[in-house]
A and B are shown apart, each in its own frame.
Chain A
Amino acid sequence: MKTRILGFVALAAVAVMLVVALFVVPADLNQGDAQRIMYPHVASAWLGYLSFGVTALAGILWLWKRDLRFDAVAVAGAEIGVMFTAFAIWGGMMWGRPIWGVFWQWEDPRLTTTALLLALYVGYLLFRRLTDDPERRATRAAIVGIVAAVDIPIVHFSVEWWRGLHQTATIGSPDRVLNPAAPMVFVGTLLGTLAAFMLAWLYFMIRRYQLARAELGREEQVRRERIEAARAPHPAASPTEVAR
């Protein structure tokens, strides 16, 4: 019930912020209306990173506590993260096309880093599918998730330096909005969009986790039933003292 309320609130918040971003906030002087997509694009990218952090952390908690619910959180994080990351990349391309004239710009550090993040996520999800046994899968996925997550900051720095070498203007970044001189209305819109998307993220995460949890519960039920069935007396056996 509470989740449903959250869902409605999130939906409302996202709708409001989209209206603000698309119609209310003044357009960028240089880029015009195309710049408006920056707000959901950046928010989605940040939530993509957050999701992967959640997945990695959940993996660590599984290895420590051996509670499969943590693995359910991990898979939720990965799938929701793929969603937001893919949307962020799409948004980036939609933004780039009118501005740069091309869909992809290698010098945009966020776009390339986010693309790599997507590759890591997809690899993680495909890797999970190769193991059937839930505990083995959780352990293997946890370590793959941890090493991938550890890689993200390195990717970020390396791409930043890469971009830094070329002194071309950073057309695609929100830095123009996030510096102290920017008018409050831009910053406010960005933060507001982030907050709204975060509510949506939370809603999706909870729903996905509930699904995974229910699946776990079913599997656990089956396992217990099988163990009980194995322990039930079987008519054929009449075990006795084994003769020496």
Chain B
Amino acid sequence: MSALRADARIALEIARKDAVGELRGRHAIVSTLFFSAVLLLLFGFALGPDSARLAAAAPGLLWLAVVFAGMLAVSRLHLLETDDDALEQLALYPISRRAIYAGKALAGLAVMLLLGLLVLAAVGILFAVDVGAAWLPLVATVVLGAIGIAAVGTFYAGVTVRLRAREVMLPLLMLPVLAPLLLAAVKATAAALAGDPFGDLGAWLQLLVAFDVIMVVAGAATYGYLLED
């Protein structure tokens, strides 16, 4: 059990290091948040001005914005490791590969939670949906979605960080894998906003939990192989 605790401490240290580095560095988190706002505006232009149509589409637009902006944000955390080959040095410490993955995924989760909650609020304002009424299931959905995107995004960011053509490979690999998360999150959001008329909110949330668990395990198990060369 103490090996697990040691791993957890290492992961937290890595996450903390990422947080400090990112906050201090290139202000990319702010840019990513702003990017998601711009996306929502564009959605409004593309699908509006009929507010009924926008309100109906709001769950989908919310999660599209979170997925696209989130992809950028999580990949940035791996960019931190390109400072003077820091990723290679990180792999040389006597730490488990799982802990490295967990640390970077935790940092990604922090960013995704912030992003998700802000986009939720923005969607409420821009597309006239009442997010306050069903805030508990909505927040639960955002949290579960954030975990999944962080888990998958951290994995694929690690996979593509040292490749050429990484800007296009990351979305190309990641988005199909995220399809079930997108589906479940949108359905859960729509159900929550409508007051769960068909009683399927629970099922979609369960699917999200299953996705998260499977992806975290798969990511943690395979991430180490990226670090050997």
Q: Are A and B in direct contact (Cβ within 8 Å)?
A: yes
Q: Closest CB of chain B to A77's CB: distance in Å?
A: 17
Pairwise interchain contact A151-B173, C-beta atoms closer than 8 A: no
Return chain B residues, CB-CB under 8 Å to A150: 214-215, 218
Return chain B residues, CB-CB under 8 Å to A155: 179-180
Residue among A148, A154, A157 with the highest chain B CB neighbour number at 10 A? A154
Given contacts A146-B218, A165-B200, contact A139 B225 (CB under 8 A): yes
Q: Closest CB of chain A to B169's CB: distance in Å?
A: 6
Is A119 among interface residues, defined by CB-CB distance under 8 A?
yes
Return chain B residues, CB-CB under 8 Å to A159: 180, 183
Chain A 120-135 against B: per-residue CB contact (8 Å), 1 yes, 0 no? 1001001100110000
Given contacts A139-B225, A143-B159, A161-B207, contact A116 B169 (CB under 8 A): no
* Chain A interface helix/strand/loop/mixed: helix
How far apart sit A157 and B184, CA to CA, in the bound complex (Å)? 10
Return chain A residues, CB-CB under 8 Å to B225: 63, 139-140, 142-143
How far apart sit A162 and B60, CA to CA, in the bound complex (Å)? 14
State which size class the interface on A falls in: 20 to 34
Chain B 151-182 against A: per-residue CB contact (8 Å), 1 yes, 0 no? 01001000100011100010011011101100
Q: Closest CB of chain A to B225's CB: distance in Å?
A: 5
Return chain B residues, CB-CB under 8 Å to A116: 176, 179
Return chain B residues, CB-CB under 8 Å to A136: 229
Q: Closest CB of chain A to B56's CB: distance in Å?
A: 16
How far apart sit A131 and B187, CA to CA, in the bound complex (Å)? 38
State which size class the interface on B falls in: 20 to 34
How far apart sit A244 and B200, CA to CA, in the bound complex (Å)? 80
Q: Closest CB of chain A to B134's CB: distance in Å?
A: 19
Return chain A residues, CB-CB under 8 Å to B45: none
Pairwise interchain contact B228-A144, C-beta atoms closer than 8 A: no
Is A173 among interface residues, defined by CB-CB distance under 8 A?
no
Pairwise interchain contact B228-A139, C-beta atoms closer than 8 A: yes
Chain B 8-37 against A: per-residue CB contact (8 Å), 1 yes, 0 no? 000000000000000000000000000000
Return chain A residues, CB-CB under 8 Å to B165: 130
Return chain A residues, CB-CB under 8 Å to B127: none
Q: Closest CB of chain B to A174's CB: distance in Å?
A: 23
Given contacts A144-B159, A154-B210, A157-B207, contact A127 B169 (CB under 8 A): yes
> Which A residues are within 8 Å of any B CB, using their own CB?
63, 116, 119-120, 123, 126-127, 130-131, 136, 139-140, 142-144, 146-148, 150-151, 154-155, 157-159, 161-162, 165
A-B pairs with lowest CB-CB distance, top 9? A158-B180, A143-B222, A119-B176, A154-B180, A151-B177, A150-B218, A123-B173, A155-B180, A158-B183
